[in-house]
Amino acid sequence: MSCAFAVIMAGADNADLSVLTEVRSEPAVPFAGKFRLIDFSLSNCVNSGIHNVAVLTQYRPRSLNDHIGIGKPWDLDRSSGGVRLLQPYRGGPYGDWQRGSADAIRRNLDYVLQQKEERVLILSGKHIYLMDYRPFLEHHQRTGAPVTIAVRRVSRHETHRFGIISQDTDDRVVEFQEKPRRTQQNLASMGVYVFSRDFLVELLSNAGGDDIGRDILPGLVEQGHVASYTYPGYWADASTVQAYWDANMSLLAEEPALNLYAPEWVVHTRSQERAPVKLGPAADVDGALLSNGCQIEGEVERSVLSPGVQVGEGAVVRDSVILNDTVIESGAVVERCVIDKEVRIRQDALVGHSDNNRPNPELPARLNTGLTLVGKGSVVPAGTRLGRNVVIHPFSGADAFRDGSDNDNDKGKSNGKGVESGTSIGRNLR
């Protein structure tokens, strides 16, 4: 039996992913064609010999629940251990909506106390990485610290997105800053922690604070209770639209930093049975990742396609991420887009087509690099031209393009055939 059991945090909303998280939780967001973000944490657990896993859910959990099920793809369909989906509940001293990672675990301390393992591995369900947790757990045991945090170096322009630490020569954390605006340090928390179980139970039973990084760690650091473990491998936090697009595009490199093909560290997932990829006589594919069931009659360049995507004759897909069962009809052009599941891009539509890079008012700090987003189940009418930084909210049909946006700031920017850059169409489901 492993010396640790895992708790995966999977309940928070993240508006920075826009349409992708209007219909699902962030850990359920598809990635790299066939996977979902939570597959990496689940696979890391079982590949590290950890077969007792709890997943704490809250925000829009249905897709995540359906995906995980009883855990069979990860060999977690077990009578002893296995995977447990812990939902919010009413009643008892802590039963209510969860307010953060620490609060979510606090509300499930009865479950934590029932486990036999002496250590609790706390993970985020939204990060992309391949990590053997065994050396991390061994390091935790060697240091004797009640808490150990996994860290990695990030570029200086990214430090404002993460918790940043300073450490001494003995790997003790001497300072923790949660998402600092400016800092000279660049060791970022990976959202991977190991706590001694009894210490965690006592801590959360007696201390307030809702979030581990913001509320709990700074005090523990001041008391000298936190050690660090520097992880040298690939790790990505795809929590913004740009970061999500970048992480997908990085897979198209000749030797990508994230190796999804290593037989010794398989990323497991729940897969549907699909026919093989089919390329038509006029198909032209260059530098793309195609999943099972894709049917390509047109041109695909530098793009990631999920299962069941269809690209019609004369259609062009370039620098885009296209999710399951989307159909791009003949003559349509899709460029620098993230298109969710079951979308239909009608004949001769131009999506992401403009020289104007006006930011989108919904996410002006995030949606300003030219990416256009189309939400699940939407239909882009034939011949429609969509500019850059456009947001089409889920399940928007032809009427939404005729009527314009539900956002008063964008009224009049759709005339049925053209949607200006920086415009939002349809109703935000969040």
Q: Which residue has the tokens 């069962």?
A: 325
Q: What confidence score (pLDDT) does residue 412 get?
A: 38
- Measured between alpha carbons, how far is 16 from 126 in angstroms, rounded to an integer? 13
Residue 336 structure tokens: 């620098």
Apex 285 CA angle, 281 and 289, nearest 5 = 130
DSSP state at residue 226: E
Q: What confidence score (pLDDT) does residue 410 get?
A: 46
Strand order in the sheet with 379-380: 278-279, 295-296, 310-311, 327-328, 344-345, 379-380
Domain ranges of the chain: 4-250, 278-425
Instruction: Tell me if 151 sits within 8 A of 231, measured CB to CB.
Output: yes
Q: End-to-end alpha-carbon separation of the chain, Å?
A: 42
Strand order in the sheet with 316-318: 284-286, 299-301, 316-318, 333-335, 350-351, 385-386, 418-419
Please count the residues of the chain: 430
Tell me, rounded to whole angstroms, the distance of Cα 158 from its chain centroid.
17
CATH classification code of 278-425 = 2.160.10.10
Tell me whether residue 70 is exposed, middle or buried, using C-beta atoms within 10 angstroms of its C-beta: 0 to 12, 13 to 18, 19 or more. Answer: exposed
Secondary structure string (H, E, C) spanning 110-137: HHHHHCCCCEEEEEECCEEECCCHHHHH
pLDDT, tens digit only, all 430 positions of the chain: 578 999 999 998 999 999 999 999 999 999 999 999 999 999 999 999 999 999 999 999 999 999 999 999 999 999 889 999 999 988 877 667 899 999 999 999 999 999 999 999 999 999 999 999 999 999 999 999 999 999 999 988 889 889 999 999 999 999 999 889 889 899 999 999 999 999 999 999 998 899 999 999 999 999 999 999 999 999 999 999 999 999 999 999 999 999 999 999 999 999 989 999 999 999 999 999 999 999 999 999 999 999 999 999 999 999 999 999 999 999 999 999 999 999 999 999 999 999 999 999 999 999 999 999 999 999 999 999 999 999 999 999 999 998 654 454 444 355 557 899 999 999 999 8
Tell me, rounded to whole angstroms, the distance of Cα 248 from its chain centroid.
11
Among 26, 110, 23, 43, CA closest to 83: 43
Q: Is CATH 3.30.720.120 correct for 4-250?
A: no
- Measured between alpha carbons, how far is 108 from 290 in angstroms, rounded to an integer? 41
Tell me, rounded to whole angstroms, the distance of Cα 215 from its chain centroid.
23
Q: What confidence score (pLDDT) does residue 29 get?
A: 98
Q: What confidence score (pLDDT) does residue 414 get?
A: 57
Tell me whether residue 39 is exposed, middle or buried, using C-beta atoms within 10 angstroms of its C-beta: 0 to 12, 13 to 18, 19 or more. Answer: buried
